[in-house]
Structure 1
Amino acid sequence: MADANSSNVIVVANDGRTDVSCWGGLLSLGASLNGVRGVVADGACRDVHETREIGFPVFAKGRIPATARGRLQQRSTGEPVQLGGVTVTPGDLVLADETGVVVVPGSRLEEVLEHAQGVAAREQAIAAELRAGVALHEAMRDARLAGIPESEITEEH
């Protein structure tokens, strides 16, 4: 963690364990002081109130008061890890919110960004139609949600 900075999200691979914490308040404080953007842990965290107080985002499988001291040992830093069955490699983009976590391979950032922008634009257009009074079933046409241009819609879609 000593080398982590504002371009990093720390990913903790703890095999989904929720019987012991793999991240806590002091680690959150240290990471935030280094400018780290947040933490995604495939395991449980503790000291949630401390983390909230400093405004540091931690996304974990659960919460538990049991500390890692004497129970867990760090094996490596900066190496590929498994997070919920997905390989996360340094340079990948890791995004998280209340809904979940997504990992974008570093080699596919532009492709995924372009696709995501298209999805966001379609959803914004649908929301605008709903606000304008278009019926839900009309605004949420399957082909449109799938990103199929109106000009390509046939009876098959």
Structure 2
Amino acid sequence: MSGESAIEQKIASLGLKLPEVVPPLAAYQPAVVSGAYVYTAGQLPMVDGKLPLTGKVGAEVTPEEAKSLAATCALNALAAVKSAIGDLDRVKRVVKVVGFVASAPDFTGQPAVLNGASELLGEVLGEAGVHARSAVGVAVLPLDAPVEVELQVEIEP
């Protein structure tokens, strides 16, 4: 595991792998650094360049499936953070998570879906993964993705 940060080793210990950063779908950067913070673009639950599921949560996608997809989004967001700072061990703490859930009209379980991202960040980063969060239901997301997550992360210099 030489060359991997302690955080990447923790990810591997959970049976996961930090993916390659997902290429932007439009005119933006996956993550930018401003002062002591990294702001990621919204990350879709892409796996090997494609979405494993599409549709609305509470209709075509179950809340449990969406929770797992939210964890994938968080992993993709960590990859975006790494692309901006080079070493995930520079992460001081996750400050804010914003999650969007493409929701069927009567679906109100957005917070439970976003727990997938929050729980993954807690498992990987421990106390540094504890964050403020917004969980927002929306009509549709890019590529008909069920969920999208963005992070605001404080970093060490």
Larger radius of gyration: 1
TM-score (norm 2): 0.25
Taking CA–CA contacts closer than 8 Å with sequence separation of 6 or more, which of the two structures ends up with the larger relative contact order? 2
TM-score (norm 1): 0.25
Greater strand fraction, Structure 1 or Structure 2: 1
